[in-house]
Structure 1
Amino acid sequence: MSGDLNQAKILRNKFNRAASKLKYNFYQTQIAAMHESGSHDWWKHMKTIMGLKTNGKSCMQGLANKTTDGDCGLLANTMNDFFVSVSDHLPRLNKSHKVFDVNEELPDQYMISVCTTFKALESVKANKTTGHDNIPAWVLRNYANVLAPPLTAIFNNSLREGVLPVEWKMANVIPLPKTSSPVSIEKDIRPISLTPIAAKVFESIIMKWVDETIEGEIDAKQFWGISGTSTTDVLVELVHMWYKATEKLNSYVRVVMLDFSKAFDLINHHLLLD
């Protein structure tokens, strides 16, 4: 190769500066367009911008190649065994463990009305993913007036007996990769359980009772699972706290973040009920 090396370096630097400026302007434009978005859409677009969103192709074949010699069927069984083993050491709830005494009359406040079930069915998102029963969300929503009475009867009977229908305890478990190229089942795969939507409707009604019961007992800094709060509230609270802490000269903030491994899978149900 021949030519002016110094001139080549100058042109290269100009090109890199121009490319950086264009990239900066592009991302600024993208972010500016997201200012009116909700937290869900904001994070969705951010994952796309940062390259965290996959192109839709399954990355499980790569994991199968690394762990089970390319056998996807064996990979599925291996995942299933691991997911079950996580909480296998915890004591199981036996059939005699009841929240209510089945010999006593269920309090009226815990009887579900047809109107309550109807409203809950009407609020189901039409595109919500179904469970193993394959009953689409739009069916429950569009025919809420027909389905509300029989479902209400099932809900109330379940409460009286203290037993949830076995079919509603079953789920399709979807292995969701935490990274675009997972290499370990134990560290890189998160199980997502898809239960029947009817069971989720029942849960939503129960959760309203739970919210009313624990209202005022939860720490003000608790945001997850509290009605009317979101990750946005957490971020606003943290940023406010950090700014307030750094108002004084030469002050600083240290942040320690803790993550409990398999936190929800390791909940002891006996302790939770107590």
Structure 2
Amino acid sequence: MKWKAPNTGQEHKTLASEGILDTPLAVPSAEVRIALRKTNSQKEAGPDNIPGRALMVCLSELADVFTDIYNLSLTQALVPTCVKSTTIIPLPKKNTVTCLNDYRPIPLTPIVMKCFERIVMSHIKRNIPTSLDPFQFAYRQNRSTEDAVNAAIHTALTHLEGNDTYVRMLFIDYSSAFNTVIPHRLSEKLLTLGLAPSLCNWVLNFLTDRLQSVRVGNRTSGIRTVSTGTPQGFVLSPLLYTLFTYDCVASQKPTPR
């Protein structure tokens, strides 16, 4: 079984990385087997119509096949369109629906891509600097909203120990945060963080020209191509959003009284 990048006639966007040592990520078969073994056999099939049960039953036969496909994808910095497609199923958040915001989009994504993403995510986490913003709590291992609340309270109480002091807090919530990610800028930031150019280009290709459709009951909409944001339901999306915003750190120092 072989996969070859299709000739679509469109320009393949890549980052300029002259003079930077680049060794494409190579995934061993053992790592692919571990990723496939974590598949939920009850997981519903995504747009590729490959259910989790099929991957589990045929794991021994498919592990080497997917290892070749994954490594070819990483070497060429190309992600097959069929595995970066999404089917959105809108479910109502409440009994009475009055507008589109009353629906929660549930994405169905290819299971084989989830396995691939877990492998790439592990590699990215191992290679990014440990000196990222210490006050970034979302989507980071061994951190939670409780840690964020405790850090804010500790900082405020420590400041209030001084005489004639007060605290002001500004809380900001991003609407559709994942949709704000600009793929090309994200790839440039990943390059700055020290990731290999080939992997940065792989991420860029992963986030662009994605196919998306909506399914309601037994009816499916037409397919739209999406090239912005990080896709909901994909394993890499939370980490990529965190890395896209890693340099949004506090720049205003306290004013002496």
Same fold (TM over 0.5): yes
Shift in Å, 1:107 = 2.4
Which one has more relative contact order, counting CA pairs under 8 Å at least 6 apart? 2
Aligned length: 176
Listed one character per residue, the Cα deviations across residues 15-65 of structure 1 (whole Å, up to 9, x for unaligned) are xxxxxxxxxxxxxxxxxxxxxxxxxxxxxxxxxxxxxxxxxxxxxxxxxxx
Shift in Å, 1:226 = 1.9
Shift in Å, 1:111 = 0.6
Listed one character per residue, the Cα deviations across residues 176-205 of structure 1 (whole Å, up to 9, x for unaligned) are 4455544222x4444343210101111111
Please give the alpha-carbon distance, in whole angstroms, between the structure 2 residues aligned to 1:225 and 1:98: 27
Counterpart residue number, 1:59: none
Identity of aligned residues (%): 31
More helix by share: 1
Does the residue aligned with 2:119 lie in a helix, a strand or coil? helix
Residue 152 of structure 2 is aligned to residue 226 of structure 1: no
TM-score (norm 2): 0.57
Relative to 1, partners in 2 of residues 1:207 and 1:264: Cα closer, same or farther, differing over 3 Å? Answer: same
Counterpart residue number, 1:204: 118
Please give the residue correspondences for 1:53-202 in structure 2 after superposition, counting only pairs within 5 Å.
95-98=11-14, 107=23, 110-178=25-93, 181-185=96-100, 187-202=101-116
Relative to 1, partners in 2 of residues 1:218 and 1:189: Cα closer, same or farther, differing over 3 Å? Answer: farther
CA RMSD of aligned residues (A): 3.2
More strand by share: 2
Listed one character per residue, the Cα deviations across residues 119-178 of structure 1 (whole Å, up to 9, x for unaligned) are 111122344443122322233234332221101111011112221111012111122445
Gaps of 5+ in 1: 1-93
Return the letter of the residue paired with 1:264.
F
Gaps of 5+ in 2: 1-9, 189-257
Counterpart residue number, 1:270: 184
TM-score (norm 1): 0.54
Counterpart residue number, 2:170: 256
Relative to 1, partners in 2 of residues 1:148 and 1:240: Cα closer, same or farther, differing over 3 Å? Answer: farther
Shift in Å, 1:231 = 3.5
